[in-house]
Amino acid sequence: MEAVPTLHRGSCLCGDVSYRVSGVLPDFEVCHCRQCQQAQGGACVVVAPIATSAFEVLTGAERLTAYRASPDKERLFCCRCGSPLFSRRDDSPGVLRLRVGTLDHVGSARVASHAHVASKVDWCEIGDDAPRYPGPRPG
């Protein structure tokens, strides 16, 4: 059977930055670390690890701005509306961690794990049975 090509689109809040991802989305990783709470302004961040080769910025590449909260990782956001879009680590340049809330549709992807639950906020409960790790995800 021939594989059906899959394409996912997304954008920032103002719409200037839009992108597409080809292929089936991997399951999501949730991070409850303090940096992610501050970066998102919420309880946690939900990301999908995507191969850089599967990701294409369609519009607004000039609006993408990088911020380094840690020396080895940059977080990219739209400089007009502030939407966080993805992050990438210097030691794994082939992978970007897409903020899944910016995707229009996610297909059947679900949460695969929760990391840094030691710093999870008390006012928001985890509502799934995915594995939870007090610190970084192992492996």
Site residues, Zn ion (CB under 5 A): 12, 14, 16, 31, 33, 36, 78, 80-81
Shortest Cβ 62–Zn ion spacing (Å): 11
Distance between CA atoms of 51 and 14, rounded to whole angstroms? 25
Amino acid at the residue 89: R
Nearer to Zn ion, 23 or 55 (CB): 55
Nearer to Zn ion, 24 or 121 (CB): 121
Nearer to Zn ion, 16 or 21 (CB): 16
Closest CA to 52 of 88, 90, 77: 88
What is the arrangement of strands in the sheet containing 64-70, beginning at the earlier edge strand?
Answer: 64-70, 73-78, 84-89, 95-99, 45-51, 28-31, 111-115
Shortest Cβ 53–Zn ion spacing (Å): 24
Shortest Cβ 40–Zn ion spacing (Å): 9
